[in-house]
């Protein structure tokens, strides 16, 4: 903006200062304030200079250049002392108000002596007393000084005096006072008391320009310490969104960085540092810089401790930084600043607190936030049981390793193959007997899969050498199954058929055991199931399935009742049950399939192998969903998560949590659905699938948070997911839905321009869909946002686009609503009252035509209600346009009022046709017409309308709040009659 028009217009100066106040905090706004002060000085109007100095002081205070506010304040104070009559009431009040800012600002500057601050505090007290103000603000300022230097006894006295003094116009707002009081409770170790004090601010009862921003930030560490991480996460997502655009809130920003360092979200902490590079070097408020550098130290020390000391991190401009280098730099800066404060204060209090802050330990291992962030902490693993100590220090004991490997494989532990791999490494160069070598080769073959088929033959030869022909047959049968996995099913079947005959013969002669025989019989059944999975049709397919079923039943006949404590045999029975389930599924028997899977899962759990049940619980959940049994699906998914425990890979856990979230969402259990989606996002990140599976989870999480009314959190999550969502990977429906939800969130948060942007982008994608309902709805919503953002022309275009879509879809309700909205926009814009009337007339005609052509009585009734609302809004619009007419146009104003009354009468008549359903609409229109009649001086008509309303409300529900309001207003209108007697 350039100079004030003509250089002499005080009103233009005020408008310019008001416009500058709305600009983002920062150097540009400060520079404009300096320019406006120069303009004010050229006006030669003392009050103009006073207001410009006040404006300059305020923008400095709410920026990173707080140290510059002392000069305009000193000048204002001198002007007050010399010519107080030049100040109007508002500027006199403002001058005394900013005393508090100056006192606090002095504390923030270590070069200002403590004696000067105490002198200034006395000056503040003297001037407040002279002006007749309460000492509440003075005692609050005294408390700040004492608390800062660590004079706890004086701070407690001042704190009590602050709360005891009367609140007056000089007291800080309720929100700011409660923040300060809660912060003191935290410092004294009373976290619960602090949160109690902050509750009214957190719940929206009190707010201001910087609250609940700072309360949300200050509450993070107390909530973590009290074991309330879910609330802390919510406060971080909600609060960071508030402080992010505000340059002056470096201290609160530091609290959010600290939160990341204390919750295992170090990578997000680095993202926060990258968003505010100037915070490393801005010197206008040393105390907030001290806070910031302290938490930078905390964060980068933590990264170094975790092994990421050489990682590149954001830091002061001009060079690259590793985490270790930045930690050293930030620590030195923080301690140097703390030393300057302590030297000024004559205590070690600031330094002690800073050192304690930098030395904090994490309060939780990792708190998932829902937003996408790379993991920096090592992924937890479930270690296998450690073998016994080796006789040779530093060397694993081969005997102990063999014992553990056999235990793991006999009990089918998830780490069994790793245990045998450890045996193989330890056995290199060692002479082992044939049995040991056979088992090593057998398990190495299993680990290699189809690539290890030759190793199965070697293992079989070694088993035979060791005198175990049954295990030799089992090893060769396992090799045949892996051959079937490569596609050689016929060859595998031929091989296993011969092995099957040999195994049964040995078993009949008691030359081998049931375990070895069951292994061969199971391998044969598995191979036959592979043939089933090839999907042969017709008679041949039925024969394949029948052969497989006979083979599976042979497994069950062999092992059922013989397992005892043998976990392997119990697992064979359970696996056979899953095969029968698959065969039932092939025949289309969904209920039998689910029942067999449930039996198998129960058998695995009963055998102490719950991790094997996970896959089948997932199958049960899918079948339950197919059967419309949401509760059954939920039970199965919960069981899968419980049974999988730490053994399910992160991607699998993410899938389970996401499926459970979707089931819960369908059941409208949105609180837990959001929790499960959050877990899904966390495990997807762990699996390295943030951009794919993680995006799905965050997408769902954002929707659930929106349904819970937690719009700020939902917006953070949805903004985080948008870069990962793509039509190619997730489908354009997911992209549209995410932007739709985000638009809804931003609209609730009052960020209308941004909401419009997302809704328009979503509408542009939906424009290409065959079904245009979503396109129309999004265009309509975008128009609402544009209107709320004050972008009238763009809003009108969007409503026009939506209206045409509603017309093509045969939706007269929303066509009429779009026309009404355009009418109101026209009244605010260049088209004016005449354009507004034309659009409202078109809305009335469109509604009347739709009502006349509607054959369904219910639809006609709905359109009657829409028509009544349209006449009502038309009347309101005409009344508004009359009120905004030039005072010299008395005849035009009366004509507009008369036209408005006519529309309201039509509204009342239409609502009257709806009986009880139209009561509120009818009585509202009558009262609105009565108010206009009173404006026109037609008192008798107003009274008559009031009596109509009271008569209409006779017998209505007395608990209906609208009825109560209508009766009360009608009664007030009746008093017009008595007042005129």
DSSP state of 563: -
- Of the chain, the end-to-end C-alpha distance in Å amounts to 59
**Which CA distances in Å does 152 have to 122, 385, 913, 973?**
20, 53, 73, 61
Provide DSSP, 25-64. SSHHHHHHHHHHHHHHHHHT-HHHHHHHHHHHHHHHHTSS
The mean pLDDT of 272-281, rounded to a whole number, is: 95
In this predicted structure, what is the pLDDT of residue 382?
46
Select from 803, 713, 783 the least CA-distant residue to 749: 713
pLDDT of residue 893 exceeding 80, the answer is no
Provide DSSP, 740-795. HHHHHHHHHTT-HHHHHHHHHHHHHHHTTSS--HHHHHHHHHHHHHHHHTT-HHHH
pLDDT of residue 271 exceeding 90, the answer is yes
Residue 691, both tokens: 């951009």
Residues 810-863: pLDDT tens digits? Answer: 999 999 999 999 999 999 988 899 999 999 999 999 999 999 999 999 999 999
DSSP state of 321: E
Query: How far apart are the C-alpha atoms of 330 and 307, rounded to whole Å?
Result: 19
In this predicted structure, what is the pLDDT of residue 488?
94
In this predicted structure, what is the pLDDT of residue 393?
45
In this predicted structure, what is the pLDDT of residue 888?
46
Q: Which of 323-337, 689-703, 872-886, 937-951 has the lowest mean pLDDT?
A: 872-886
| CB-count burial class (<10 Å; 0-12, 13-18, 19+) for 4 | buried
pLDDT of residue 173 exceeding 90, the answer is yes
pLDDT of residue 404 exceeding 60, the answer is yes
In this predicted structure, what is the pLDDT of residue 538?
80
In this predicted structure, what is the pLDDT of residue 867?
96
> Which residue, chain included where needed, has tokens 């030759």?
454
Residues 540-581: pLDDT tens digits? Answer: 888 999 999 999 999 999 998 777 789 999 999 999 999 999
Q: Ramachandran region of residue 84, left (φ > 0), alpha (ψ -120 to 50) or beta?
A: alpha
What's the mean pLDDT when you consider all of the chain? 92
The mean pLDDT of 370-398, rounded to a whole number, is: 57
Residue 619, both tokens: 């199958």
Provide DSSP, 597-644. HHHHHHHHHHTT-HHHHHHHHHHHHHHHHHTT-HHHHHHHHHHHHHHH
- The better pLDDT of the pair 864, 3 is held by 864
Q: Dmax of the chain from CA atoms?
A: 123
The mean pLDDT of 418-446, rounded to a whole number, is: 93
- Percent of the chain residues past pLDDT 70, beyond the cut: 95
Select from 103, 93, 181 the least CA-distant residue to 142: 103
> Which residue, chain included where needed, has tokens 């008369």?
898
The mean pLDDT of 498-509, rounded to a whole number, is: 95
Query: Angle at Cα 585 formed by Cα 580 and Cα 591, nearest 5°?
Result: 95
In this predicted structure, what is the pLDDT of residue 2?
43
- Percent of the chain residues past pLDDT 90, beyond the cut: 83
SS3 assignment, position 676: helix
**Which CA distances in Å does 48 have to 20, 298, 593?**
16, 48, 84
* Contact between residue 609 and residue 643 where contact means Cβ atoms under 8 Å apart: no
Band of residue 892 on the pLDDT scale cut at 50, 70, 90 = low
Select from 66, 119, 121, 72 the least CA-distant residue to 99: 121
The mean pLDDT of 2-20, rounded to a whole number, is: 75
The mean pLDDT of 73-91, rounded to a whole number, is: 92
Query: How far apart are the C-alpha atoms of 680 and 546, rounded to whole Å?
Result: 41
Residues 177-226: pLDDT tens digits? Answer: 999 999 999 999 999 999 999 999 999 999 998 999 999 999 999 999 99
pLDDT of residue 268 exceeding 50, the answer is yes
Band of residue 388 on the pLDDT scale cut at 50, 70, 90 = very low
Band of residue 874 on the pLDDT scale cut at 50, 70, 90 = very high
> Which residue, chain included where needed, has tokens 């291992």?
365
In this predicted structure, what is the pLDDT of residue 977?
64
Return the sign of the alpha-carbon dihedral for residues 145, 147, 152, 154. Answer: positive
Residue 202, both tokens: 């957190």
Residues 736-768: pLDDT tens digits? Answer: 999 999 999 999 999 999 999 999 999 999 999
Q: Ramachandran region of residue 59, left (φ > 0), alpha (ψ -120 to 50) or beta?
A: alpha
Band of residue 890 on the pLDDT scale cut at 50, 70, 90 = low
Query: How far apart are the C-alpha atoms of 624 and 635, rounded to whole Å?
Result: 10
pLDDT of residue 233 exceeding 80, the answer is yes
The mean pLDDT of 101-110, rounded to a whole number, is: 89
The mean pLDDT of 340-365, rounded to a whole number, is: 96
Query: How far apart are the C-alpha atoms of 376 and 362, rounded to whole Å?
Result: 14
Select from 512, 487, 486 the least CA-distant residue to 499: 512
């Amino acid at each position: 903006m350039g100079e004030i028009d003509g250089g002499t217009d005080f009103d233009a100066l005020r408008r310019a200062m008001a416009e500058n106040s709305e600009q983002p905090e920062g150097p540009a706004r400060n520079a404009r304030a300096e320019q406006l002060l120069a303009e004010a000085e050229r006006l030669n109007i003392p009050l103009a200079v006073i207001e410009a100095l006040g404006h300059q002081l305020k923008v400095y205070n709410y920026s990173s250049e707080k140290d510059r506010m002392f000069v305009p304040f000193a000048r204002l104070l001198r002007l007050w002392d010399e010519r107080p009559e030049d100040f109007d009431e508002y500027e006199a009040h403002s001058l005394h108000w900013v005393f508090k800012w100056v006192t606090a600002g002095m504390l923030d500057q270590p070069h200002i002596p403590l004696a000067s601050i105490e002198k200034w505090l006395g000056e503040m007290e003297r001037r407040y007393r002279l002006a007749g103000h309460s000492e509440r603000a003075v005692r609050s300022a005294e408390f700040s000084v004492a608390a800062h230097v660590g004079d706890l006894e004086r701070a407690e006295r001042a704190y009590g005096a602050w709360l005891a003094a009367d609140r007056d116009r000089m007291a800080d707002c309720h929100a700011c006072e409660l923040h300060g009081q809660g912060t003191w409770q935290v410092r004294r170790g009373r976290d619960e008391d602090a949160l109690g004090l902050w509750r009214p601010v957190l719940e929206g009862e009190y707010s201001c320009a910087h609250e609940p921003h700072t309360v949300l930030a200050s509450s993070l560490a107390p909530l973590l310490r009290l074991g309330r991480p879910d609330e802390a996460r919510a406060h971080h997502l909600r609060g960071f969104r508030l402080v992010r655009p505000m340059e002056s809130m470096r201290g609160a920003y530091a609290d959010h960085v600290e939160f990341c360092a204390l919750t295992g979200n170090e990578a997000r902490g680095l993202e926060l540092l990258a968003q505010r590079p100037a915070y490393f070097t801005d010197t206008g408020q040393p105390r907030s810089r001290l806070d910031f550098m302290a938490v930078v130290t905390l964060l980068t020390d933590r990264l170094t401790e975790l092994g990421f000391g050489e990682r590149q991190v954001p830091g002061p401009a001009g060079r690259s930084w590793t985490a270790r280098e930045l930690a050293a730099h930030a620590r030195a800066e923080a301690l140097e600043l703390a030393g300057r404060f302590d030297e000024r204060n004559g205590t070690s209090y600031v330094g002690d607190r800073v050192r304690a802050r930098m030395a904090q330990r994490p309060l939780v291992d990792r708190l998932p936030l829902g937003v996408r962030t790379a993991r920096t902490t090592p992924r937890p693993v479930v270690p296998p049981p450690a073998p016994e100590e080796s006789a040779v220090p530093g060397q694993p004991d081969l005997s102990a390793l063999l014992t553990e490997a056999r235990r793991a494989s006999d009990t089918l532990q998830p780490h069994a193959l790793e245990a045998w791999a450890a045996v193989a490494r330890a056995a290199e160069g060692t002479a082992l007997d044939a049995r040991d070598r056979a088992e090593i080769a057998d398990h190495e073959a299993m680990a290699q899969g189809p690539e290890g088929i030759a190793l199965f033959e070697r293992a079989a030869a070694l088993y035979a050498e060791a005198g175990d022909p049954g295990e030799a047959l089992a090893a060769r049968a396992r090799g045949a199954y892996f051959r079937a996995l490569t596609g050689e099913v016929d060859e595998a079947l031929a091989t296993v058929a011969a092995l099957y005959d040999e195994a049964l013969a040995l078993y009949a002669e008691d030359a081998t055991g049931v375990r070895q025989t069951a292994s061969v019989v199971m391998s044969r059944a598995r191979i036959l199931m592979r043939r089933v999975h090839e999907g042969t049709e017709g008679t041949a397919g039925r024969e394949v399935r029948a052969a497989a079923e006979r083979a599976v039943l042979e497994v069950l006949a062999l092992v059922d009742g013989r397992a005892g404590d043998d976990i392997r045999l119990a697992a064979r029975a359970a696996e056979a049950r899953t095969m029968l389930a698959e065969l039932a599924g092939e025949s289309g028997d969904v209920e039998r399939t689910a029942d067999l899977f449930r039996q198998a899962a129960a058998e695995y759990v009963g055998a102490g192998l719950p991790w094997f049940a996970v896959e089948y619980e997932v199958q049960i959940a899918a079948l339950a969903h197919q059967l419309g049994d949401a509760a059954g699906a939920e039970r199965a998914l919960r069981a899968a998560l419980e049974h999988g425990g730490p053994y399910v890979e992160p991607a699998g856990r993410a899938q389970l949590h996401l499926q459970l979230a979707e089931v819960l969402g369908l059941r409208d259990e949105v609180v837990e659905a959001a929790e499960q989606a959050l877990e899904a996002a966390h495990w997807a990140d762990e699996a390295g699938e943030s951009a794919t599976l993680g995006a799905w989870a965050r997408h769902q999480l954002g929707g659930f948070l929106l349904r819970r009314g937690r719009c700020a959190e939902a917006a953070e999550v949805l903004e985080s997911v948008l870069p990962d969502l793509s039509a190619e990977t997730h489908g354009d429906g997911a992209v549209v839905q995410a932007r739709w939800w985000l638009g809804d969130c931003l609209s609730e948060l009052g960020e209308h321009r941004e909401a419009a942007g997302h809704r328009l982008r979503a509408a542009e994608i939906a424009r290409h869909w065959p079904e245009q309902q979503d396109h129309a709805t999004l265009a309509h919503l975008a128009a609402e946002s544009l209107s709320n953002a004050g972008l009238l022309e763009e809003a009108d275009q969007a409503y026009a686009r939506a209206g045409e879509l509603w017309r093509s879809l045969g939706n007269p309700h929303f066509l009429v609503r779009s026309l009404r909205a355009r009418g109101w926009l026209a009244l605010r814009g260049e088209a004016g009252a005449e354009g507004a009337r034309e659009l409202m007339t078109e809305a009335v005609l469109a509604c009347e035509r739709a009502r006349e052509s509607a054959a369904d009585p219910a639809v006609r009734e709905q359109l009657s209600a829409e028509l009544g609302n349209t006449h009502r809004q038309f009347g309101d619009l005409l009344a508004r346009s009359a009120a905004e007419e030039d005072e010299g146009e008395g005849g035009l104003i009366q004509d507009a009022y008369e036209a408005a009354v006519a529309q309201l009468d039509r509204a009342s008549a239409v609502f009257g046709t709806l009986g009880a359903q139209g009561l509120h609409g009818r009585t509202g229109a009558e009262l609105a017409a009565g108010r206009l009649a009173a404006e026109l001086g037609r008192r008798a008509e107003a009274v008559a309308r009031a009596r109509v309303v009271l008569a209409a409300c006779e017998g209505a529900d007395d608990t209906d709040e609208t009825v109560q309001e209508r009766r009360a207003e009608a009664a007030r209108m009746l008093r017009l009659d008595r007042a005129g007697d």
